[in-house]
């Protein structure tokens, strides 16, 4: 029984991680759109959009976006520099391979 519960916890953790990744990708897409449109406060608009479309409390969405600001910006860069899903995946791999002290883009 203990083993079964532990396996369930692992699946639940993976599901939460997958949901978190999806939320980050959606936030990055919104951030990229805001940048392209010249929105004055793209992170704030991104947090509002995440709250609305992910049905999250606004405070939780703001924390998600602000505490993962660099990841959102990096993924937005990947969106902005990709013209296909495959190219986006390649850009994400490039981000993962950056040195630990990345230079500004």
94's enclosing H/E stretch is: helix 85-96
Residue 57 CA to residue 5 CA, distance in Å, equals 30
Whether 58 contacts 48, CB under 8 Å? yes
Give the pLDDT band of residue 52 (cuts 50, 70, 90): very high
Q: What is the pLDDT of residue 2?
A: 46
Whether 49 contacts 33, CB under 8 Å? no
Q: What are the CB-based long-range contacts (under 8 Å, 24+) for 44-53?
A: 46/72, 50/23, 50/26, 53/26
pLDDT in tens, 10-31: 677 888 899 999 999 999 999 9
């Amino acid at each position: 029984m203990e083993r079964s519960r532990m396996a369930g916890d692992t699946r639940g953790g993976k599901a939460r991680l997958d949901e978190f990744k999806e939320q980050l990708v959606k936030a990055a897409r919104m951030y990229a759109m805001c940048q392209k449109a010249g929105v004055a406060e793209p992170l704030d608009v991104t947090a509002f959009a995440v709250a609305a479309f992910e049905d999250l409390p606004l405070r939780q969405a703001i924390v998600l976006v602000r505490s993962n600001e660099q990841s959102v910006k990096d993924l937005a860069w990947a969106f902005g520099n990709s013209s296909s899903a495959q190219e986006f995946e390649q850009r994400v791999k490039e981000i993962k391979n950056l040195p630990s002290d990345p230079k500004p883009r």
